[in-house]
Chain A
Amino acid sequence: MKQKTQVADIDRSLYDFRYDEDASDLLASGITPEIIREISEEKGDPEWMRQFRLHSLEIFAKTEMPPWGPPIDGLNLDNIVAYIRPKSRMNTDWNNVPENIKETFERLGIPQAERESLAGVGAQYDSELVYHNVRKEVAESGVVYTDLESAMHDPRFAEMIQTHFMKLVPPTDHKFAALHGAVWSGGSFVYVPAGVRLEIPLQSYFRLNAKGAGQFEHTLIIVEDDAYLHFIEGCSAPKYYEAGLHAGCVELYVGKRATLRYSTIENWSKNMYNLNTKRAVVAEGGRIEWVSGSFGSHVSYLYPMSILNGRGAHAEFTGITFAGAGQNLDTGAKIVHNAPETSSHIDTKSISKSGGISTFRSAVTVAEQAVGSRSSVSCESLMLDSISRSDTVPVMDIRTDQADIGHEAKIGRISDDAVFYLMSRGLDEQSARAMIVSGFADNVSKELPLEYAMEMNNLIRLEMTGSAG
């Protein structure tokens, strides 16, 4: 009677299977000019990209580790394998994908999701995309969805990529942006022409299989004026003894009156360092909508940034972070109001359990010229026990008095009264707690595509009950 909820580590068998890679596929570990040249050679980079990589490496060498956030001493960059040679060329026919890779994605439900509800799918395995496909009618509308490497060699997009690649997130941004610039591989390029509204989402799935490897995919999306796109990314990796590193980069360009919705559910294994940078720039009357679920990784630094450059541009960020045992997740959002009458809304929930640490960090900047702008930030944290931690670090820099800014933060625990109330109706304690936590996360799951919302609820349920689902 009155026993405490037993919570075990999440059953990760769904994600934890893995296949061995051949030693010959791995480049030597560590980050050196030789390795960078080798990657560049291997990928057949144009000259400007080779220069860009080497230049980024110089910046990387000179830049200090980030001075904020959770410790990352456990990450030994000399041991990280930056590039894993692909076993297979990029395919557009699922049947041609090698068997074990195919099985990996099938177990994760990827091709099935494509058949059911997606306009296009990309799947990255370690360093390279192994599969990419877009529905015929989508391709006919002029939408381009391919891997960044192919696009870079396509005369129609080569220049576009050169003028946009790492312009929003320059290698000088921070140490891991520089690293990304040097060793990036794989990722997606999406181009939605003006006026095209893609009603069904595109999805890419990133899977890091190799041990002690890094994944450095680059996602570049350009949504032209009056267009609409919903892009979904999912990430997972099996757990190895050695720590892995994910330092991806996402750059999003949203045109006038265009809308881009960017949904992520991240479930890296719990020894990954997830040092990811995401940024969007939004033109007049455009909208960026981020939906973000962070469940995995050992340490995360993730603060998607929205730069509202045109009058009336709007940014919305809805996120949930769940930090369990051994996890230190530093997540949040940044908004820059650079033009008049821009608006933003940040709504986040974080849950910490079994000693997990969850920190919410937000930065809202309203420039002098951004008169008549509005911003509201709301963050709610739930701590499930007394050994877990939750912190809130909201920063605001407002340079005009003609702006409407609101902030609300709540940190709490599951109330015993609520648990008792539900138990008095016949729910056992674990179910009662799981229902309260699911309810807490409800406004985020509502924003997610259905299968992701279900995955999220399953993750919460598993985390709460420790039972295999």
Chain B
Amino acid sequence: MELLRIDRLAAGIEEKELLHGVSLTVGSGETHILMGPNGAGKSTIGLTLMGSPEYHVTGGKIFFEGEDITEESADRRAKRGIFLSFQNPVEIPGLSLSDFLRNAMEQLSGQRMKLWDFKKQLRAAMDVLQMDPAYADRDLNVGFSGGEKKKAEILQLLMLKPKLAILDETDSGLDVDAVRTVSAGIAAYREQCGGSLLIITHNTKILESLTVDRTHIIADGRITAEGGAELIDEINRSGFEKYTERAI
């Protein structure tokens, strides 16, 4: 069943168009990989799908569960079940990770949450990610190392249980152990929620524990190739070069 459909999406920042008509469909429970060289427009897709006010849609549409969400604000999209793991999560001084998470969960569900239930869930999710429980009381992302920030993003993914998770370079800058932990977190999300994944990456280690349904190659703001998991291996062997010219 179709969950997300991007139809000839054109979008950019200020006066500059970065996506020139991207189309892409993600079905329920599927795992999609979006790969491409630097500056191809990968992050633009993630941020535009999430509704960043910095990016303006200049053409095309975004549908989620059949509804047009192209003009919706980020919080409305989150309430529909879209989640973006940020490449550079923002630091919020004075707001603790746990207060933030509980607030977000309450806003998503529209219901008060018992502190006890929340803490139990939080503890379980932190265990999966081998996070020190002390992080729950720390200010959101403030002073977190690169790896800790990425873990905190996946923690939010596990707690908020979206229908579609867009992971933007979640594996970049992580050491081998951290990649393994984050992969375990993503696997837990798939297992617990059965949600769809759109993984933006140029690293394939994170994909080892996942079954990939479809791979999309993006270059210069256009999808230039699509295929199954085998496309990842080919990119690993010969790079993006042959895909930067051809648009499909």
Residues of B within 8 A of A2 (CB): 53, 73
**Smallest Cβ-Cβ distance to B89: which chain A residue:** A421
The answer to whether B74 touches A424 (Cβ under 8 A) is yes
In the complex, which range does the number of interface residues on chain B fall in? 20 to 34
Residues of A within 8 A of B52 (CB): 420
Q: Given the known inter-chain contacts A421-B89, A424-B74, please indicate yes or no for A438 contacting B94, CB distance below 8 A.
A: yes
The answer to whether B93 touches A439 (Cβ under 8 A) is yes
* B 90-105 to A, binary, CB cutoff 8 A, 1 in contact else 0: 1011110000100110
How many angstroms between the C-alpha atoms of A432 and B100 in the bound complex?
10
Which one of A173-181, A358-366, A411-419 is at the interface?
A411-419
Residues of B within 8 A of A1 (CB): 71-73, 76
Q: Given the known inter-chain contacts A416-B54, A431-B107, A435-B100, please indicate yes or no for A423 contacting B73, CB distance below 8 A.
A: yes
Interface residues of B in 193-248 (CB under 8 A from A): none
B50 interfacial by beta-carbon distance below 8 Å = yes
Residues of B within 8 A of A415 (CB): 90
How many angstroms between the C-alpha atoms of A415 and B88 in the bound complex?
14
**Smallest Cβ-Cβ distance to A430: which chain B residue:** B75
B62 interfacial by beta-carbon distance below 8 Å = no
Which one of A10-18, A103-111, A440-448 is at the interface?
A440-448
**Within the complex, what minimum Cβ distance (angstroms) separates B100 from chain A?**
7
B108 interfacial by beta-carbon distance below 8 Å = yes
**Smallest Cβ-Cβ distance to B93: which chain A residue:** A439
B51 interfacial by beta-carbon distance below 8 Å = yes
The answer to whether B103 touches A421 (Cβ under 8 A) is no
B156 interfacial by beta-carbon distance below 8 Å = yes
The answer to whether B51 touches A424 (Cβ under 8 A) is yes
CB < 8 Å A-B pair total: 85
Residues of A within 8 A of B100 (CB): 422, 425, 435
The answer to whether B72 touches A426 (Cβ under 8 A) is no
Residue from B72, B76, B78, B93 in contact with A425 in the complex, judged by beta carbons closer than 8 Å: B78
Q: Given the known inter-chain contacts A2-B53, A428-B107, A429-B73, please indicate yes or no for A423 contacting B92, CB distance below 8 A.
A: no
Residue from B76, B93, B103, B108 in contact with A440 in the complex, judged by beta carbons closer than 8 Å: B93
B154 interfacial by beta-carbon distance below 8 Å = no
How many angstroms between the C-alpha atoms of A425 and B94 in the bound complex?
18
Residues of B within 8 A of A424 (CB): 50-51, 74-75, 77-78, 83-84, 86
The answer to whether B92 touches A426 (Cβ under 8 A) is no
The answer to whether A439 touches B92 (Cβ under 8 A) is yes
The answer to whether A421 touches B86 (Cβ under 8 A) is yes
The answer to whether B54 touches A425 (Cβ under 8 A) is no
The answer to whether B92 touches A418 (Cβ under 8 A) is yes
**Per DSSP, are chain A's interface residues mostly helix, strand or loop, or mixed?**
helix
A427 interfacial by beta-carbon distance below 8 Å = yes
B160 interfacial by beta-carbon distance below 8 Å = yes
The answer to whether A423 touches B95 (Cβ under 8 A) is no
How many angstroms between the C-alpha atoms of A2 and B76 in the bound complex?
11
Residue from A426, A436, A443 in contact with B108 in the complex, judged by beta carbons closer than 8 Å: A426
How many angstroms between the C-alpha atoms of A425 and B92 in the bound complex?
14
Residues of B within 8 A of A439 (CB): 92-95, 139
B79 interfacial by beta-carbon distance below 8 Å = yes
**Within the complex, what minimum Cβ distance (angstroms) separates A424 from chain B?**
5
Question: Which one of A416, A423, A435 has the greatest number of beta carbons of chain B within 10 Å?
Answer: A423
How many angstroms between the C-alpha atoms of A9 and B68 in the bound complex?
36
Residues of B within 8 A of A420 (CB): 50-54, 74
**Smallest Cβ-Cβ distance to A428: which chain B residue:** B75
Question: Which one of B53, B74, B95 has the greatest number of beta carbons of chain A within 10 Å?
Answer: B74
How many angstroms between the C-alpha atoms of A431 and B110 in the bound complex?
14
How many angstroms between the C-alpha atoms of A1 and B71 in the bound complex?
6
How many angstroms between the C-alpha atoms of A436 and B91 in the bound complex?
10
Interface residues of B in 111-152 (CB under 8 A from A): 139
Residue from B71, B75, B94 in contact with A427 in the complex, judged by beta carbons closer than 8 Å: B75
**Within the complex, what minimum Cβ distance (angstroms) separates B104 from chain A?**
4
Residues of A within 8 A of B83 (CB): 424-425
Q: List 23 A-B contacts (CB under 8 A).
A: A1-B71, A1-B73, A2-B73, A418-B92, A421-B89, A423-B51, A424-B77, A424-B84, A425-B83, A425-B108, A425-B160, A426-B78, A426-B107, A427-B107, A428-B73, A428-B107, A429-B75, A431-B107, A435-B92, A435-B103, A438-B94, A439-B92, A443-B94
